[in-house]
Amino acid sequence: MELIGGIEKRDIRIVDYDPAWPQRFAEERARIARALGTTARRIDHIGSTSVPGLAAKPIVDIDVSVPDVEDETAYLPPLLAAGYRLRVREPAHRMVRTVQRDVHVHIVTVGSDWERRQLLFRDWLRHSVDDRAAYEKLKRQLAQQNWPDMNAYADAKGPLIAEIIQRAEAWAASIAWTPR
C-alpha cells in the first residue's frame, strides 16, 4: 500500500452516532456524482457512520464503484478537480479524502470483493444489534490506546471484523443478500 504523504499520527476519537452523517454523505454523494457522471456506477455510504446508532470516528466513508479502479485516468482527475486529495493507492483500491479529512472516498471496481465486503458489513451491522454493540465496544476500547496511525487502529479491529463477517456471510446466504 502506498500512503500518499506518508504515515500520519492522528488521534482516534469515537463519538456517539450523529444523525447529521447521512446528510453529509448525501452532500458528498452529489459532489462525486457531478464530478464523475456515469463513471461512478455506485456511490454508497459505508463504514460506521452509515449504521444508525453506531458510535464512530467522525469521518464519513463512501464507496465509489467504477468500471476499473486500475484505470485512474477515468476517475482520479475529476475527483482531484472536485477538491479531493489522493491518500491511498493499493491494488484494487484507491482512497481520496477531503482537505478537512472528514470524508474518505474509497474507489473500487464495480462488483469487486472489496465492494461486496463493505456493503455486506454495513448491512449486517444495521441488522445485528449484538455485533453492532460488540464492534462499538471494541472501537471505544481501542480508541483509548496510542496508535502510530489510523491503519494500526484499523488492523487491531481485524480479528473481530473477521468474526463478524463470518456471521454476515451466513446471514447473506440465508436471505440471498446481494448489494442493493
Q: How many Cα atoms occupy the beta-carbon half-sphere of 102 within 13 Å?
A: 8
Alpha carbon of 161 to those of 26, 36, 71, 166, 176: distances in Å?
Answer: 26, 31, 30, 9, 21
Alpha-carbon distance 42 to 35, whole Å? 13
Which domains can be identified in the chain, with CATH numbers?
6-172 (3.30.460.10)
pLDDT tens-place values along the chain, 180 residues long: 899 999 888 889 999 999 999 999 999 999 999 999 999 999 999 999 999 999 999 999 999 999 999 999 999 999 999 999 999 999 999 999 999 999 999 999 999 999 999 999 999 999 999 999 999 999 999 999 999 888 899 999 999 999 999 999 999 999 999 998
pTM of the complete model: 0.96
Q: Please name the residue that has the C-alpha cell 500518499.
A: 4
DSSP element (H, E) containing 46: strand 42-46
Pull the grid cell for residue 98.
477531503
